[in-house]
Amino acid sequence: MRKIFEFFIRRHLVANLFVIMIVLLGLGAVFTLKRDIFPTVDFGMLVIQTPYPGAAPEDVELNVTNRIEDELKNVTGIDRITSVSMEDYSSITVTLEPDVRDAEKVKREVRDAVAGVTDFPDAVTEPPPCSRSTTPSSRSSRWE
């Protein structure tokens, strides 16, 4: 180790060039690294939210939630379906299998299955959107 220090003590120019090179590489890395405050993370989950104004929780479950769940049963690659039916609102969380090969294909099939449900009540004016979940759900949800 002492010989390395002696080498740089005798050759100031080489030491200065190394320092300048390290600083330039650091600055180059700072400006080229991709940074994001809130990075997009795919947890393999989709959330289907359907408003049903003026409906009781039982009506929401029978007329919205159950119909969507019946269509989702035909999609392969789904690990778990968790649903919540409350007054005026239905929320279904679809969790994909962790080892699914083509997650985008399964998500597309889920969207197509939800779009295939057409016999909603008249109060449900728009088809329910499928959006990616940005937060992971725990396995022991109180809604299951």
pLDDT tens-digit profile of 39-61? 777 788 999 999 999 999 999 99
At 35, is the secondary structure helix, strand, or coil?
coil
Both tokens assigned to 68: 């969507």
Calculated CA dihedral for residues 42, 48, 49, 54, nearest 10 degrees: -170
Please check whether residue 45 is in contact with residue 134, taking contact to mean a CB–CB distance below 8 angstroms: no
List the strands of the sheet with 130-132, edge to edge: 78-86, 89-96, 45-51, 130-132
pTM of the model: 0.66
> Per residue in 82-122, pLDDT tens?
999 999 999 999 999 988 888 899 999 999 999 999 888 88
Kindly state the helix (H) or strand (E) to which residue 114 belongs, with its residue range. Answer: helix 103-115
Residues 112, 72: Cα–Cα separation, whole Å: 10
pLDDT band of 135, cuts 50, 70, 90: low
Rounded to an integer, what distance in angstroms lies between the CA atom of residue 102 and that of residue 98?
A: 11
Helix (H, G, I), strand (E, B) or coil at 46: strand
Which three-class secondary structure state does DSSP give residue 84? strand
Phi-psi region of 80 (alpha: psi -120 to 50; beta: other; left: phi over 0): beta
E-strand ranges in 1-144 read: 45-51, 78-86, 89-96, 130-132
pLDDT tens, 14-48? 999 999 999 999 999 988 888 777 777 778 899 99
Q: Identify the DSSP state of 58.
A: H
